Structures are given as C-alpha cells and as structure tokens.
Structure 1
Amino acid sequence: MNARERAAEAAGRVRDPEMPMLTLADLGVLRGVEFDGDGGDADGDGGTVIVSITPTYTGCPAMATMRDDLVHRLNDAGFPRVEVRIALSPPWSSDWISERGRAALREAGLSAPGPAPRPAPGPVPLTLGPARTAPPCPRCGSAATRLTSEFGSTACKALYRCTGCLEPFEHVKEI
C-alpha cells in the first residue's frame, strides 16, 4: 500500500464527533486526501497530506474537532505534516451519506435522511414554514410519526415521535 492509500485509509477511519456511529467518509464530509508533493517521493512520502472536508452546515461547530481528529489520526499513522482544507463548493448534501452510513444510523436508532430536495428551475419561492418530512420510525417502521422539534441534539437533526410505538427518535435532515 502506498502513502496516498495509507493516508486515505487513516483519514477514512475518523469518526464524526456528533454521530460517532459514522466515519467522516460514510457521512460524505471527507472529500479528498492528497499530497502537495513538497519533497515527497512518487508515493507522497515526505510531503504534506492535504485533506479536504465539507461541513454539513455552514458554521458547523464540529468542524474544528473533525480537523483535529484528522490531524491526530494522520500523525499517528506516520504523516507528520497535515493540512485540512474546508471545501464549501459544492455544498454538502445528505445524498452523500453512504449506504453503510445510512445502515449505521438506523442501527443506532436514528432515522436516515431521504433524498435531498431538488430545487425547481427558475425563481426560488420564499417559504417561511419548516420543510415537512415524514420519516418512518427507525424502531418499529411505522409511518405514523410527528415532528416534536426542528432541532435535535445537533442542528442537522430534528426530533420526532412515533405515534405507533410512542418512542422519540432523531431524524438526520435532508439537505
């Protein structure tokens, strides 16, 4: 395994600080792992590892922790020089969550997001109400759920309650 592959593997194992059942790769936040080539050989040994990540939300409070975790994991894997870059374009989409990540969310009792909304061409209508979704209950599968709060434990999750089994659950929002 060359240095680029080792660095990508190490970065791919870093967990999301707010949803630790997911890696940054499974969440779709990890965008790329490269070397700048300054003094490194053909495999990237000796260069600076450059990791690109995209926040799920602009101003996501977990970005600093993600950066620190990536730097520490790569340092521990033998890469002394690491730079983490924030990539804002294209913006993150909940569609980037891997199937393995969606399964991990469900196994942890969270409702995985459905397809991200697609804007229609032309002018964007102004709507002041919250976007309504009806996620199925991750515990019993019932479609009879209701929104309790637009925000759960983090800004990227909403709190729902199943009217079938009466259990509360968090739903990762579609973005």
Structure 2
Amino acid sequence: MVTTTPLEAELLALAGSVPDPELPVLTLRELGVVRAVRLHGAEAVEVELTPTYTGCPAIEAMSADIERVLHEHGVPDVTVRTVLAPAWSTDDITDEGRRKLREFGIAPPRAVRESGPVALALGPTRSVDPDPVRCPNCGSADTELLSRFSSTACKALRRCLACREPFDHFKEL
C-alpha cells in the first residue's frame, strides 16, 4: 500500500479540481481519471492520469490544465504521466459526478452489476433490460437508442419516448 503525504493529498485535490475539457460540469476527480500524485524531491511532482479510453483526444488538454493549476499553486516541475492500468471504468465516476451528469441533462452510466466486461447484446434500440437508461429530464425508463455515438465517443444519443426529448447517455465501460 502506498502512503500519501498531506502535501500529496493537497496536490491530488488541486489536480482533481480541474474541469474535464469535454464535460466541464465534472472535475477530473469526479470523473475518476486522476489516479495519484507523487512528490519527487522538494520541487517536482508527478501526476498519474488514466484516460477514459485509449486514444482519448482530451488527455492532452487534461494534462496541460493539471500542469497549469499546479504551476499556479507554486509547483515548478510538473509531469503528468498517462497510466493505462488499471483501466478506467465508468464505475470510477463518483456519486457526485453522476448527480452532476443527470442535472446537466446527460444520463449517467448505469451501475455495472458485476465486475468484468460489460455484456454487449445487439437487438432492439428501446430499453428493455431490467436496468433501463432513464431520461435525465423526466425520469422515464421508456427510452430508445438513436445513435451509439453522440457528441463524444463515450456517449450515446437516446430519446425519451415519454417527454420526446433527446439526451446523451454516458456509456458504461
């Protein structure tokens, strides 16, 4: 087990306070992508950052924003290292992050019922599983899939059949 110093915890909170560039309603802490902060000597800090998926185009913006925030707080030497293992999962999104997604009009990812890969089933576009994607606007479970990809690759475009509003759904990983 790695122990964290009070200064590392403070720097982790600063790095985690950076807004996500694609979903600015969430911080990187709420998204669950900032993994650790380690001090190297008196003036150097290394931040471990896990992208939501390999090849995520926002990783460069996240890294630059973390470096900027830590520089602004007096850290002269900041290195942001991309860490792919353990892989990020939608289970890493905090409860606060899920609440913010819902309030922003994006259906948060459903809780994964068991560990391991998410089962993929091809079939009708309407929600028919026991844990349907609920509309973030009216709460109805009567929704349909319009497109497997939306404004970003990690979201799908859905429509509520009750209130007729389209909405993004943050896909489970």
TM-score band, normalised by shorter chain: 0.7 to 0.9
> What is the root-mean-square deviation in Å for CA atoms of aligned residues?
2.3
5+ residue gaps, structure 2, are none
The alignment covers a number of residue pairs equal to 162
- Identity over the aligned pairs, expressed in percent? 46
In the TM superposition, what whole-angstrom CA distance separates every residue of 1:56-77 from its partner, at most 9, and x where no partner exists? 1110000000000000010001
Structure 2: distance between partners of 1:130 and 1:87: 35
- Structure 1 residue identity aligned to 2:11: A
TM score, norm. by length of structure 2? 0.86
5+ residue gaps, structure 1, are 41-45
SS at 1:165's partner residue? coil
Structure 2: distance between partners of 1:119 and 1:12: 26
Q: Please, which moves more after superposition, 17-26 or 132-141? A: 132-141
Structure 1: distance between partners of 2:144 and 2:85: 33
Structure 1: distance between partners of 2:73 and 2:83: 24
In the TM superposition, what whole-angstrom CA distance separates every residue of 1:23-78 from its partner, at most 9, and x where no partner exists? 101001010111122xx2xxxxx2x1110011111100000000000000100011
SS at 1:18's partner residue? coil
SS at 1:105's partner residue? helix
- Residue equivalent to 1:67: 63
User: In the alignment, which of 36, 41, 56 is matched to residue 32 of structure 1?
Assistant: 36
The 1:73–1:173 alpha-carbon spacing in structure 2 relative to 1, beyond 3 Å, is same
User: In the alignment, which of 81, 84, 87 is matched to residue 88 of structure 1?
Assistant: 84
Give the superposition deviation at 1:6: 3.0
TM score, norm. by length of structure 1? 0.85
- Residue equivalent to 1:49: 45
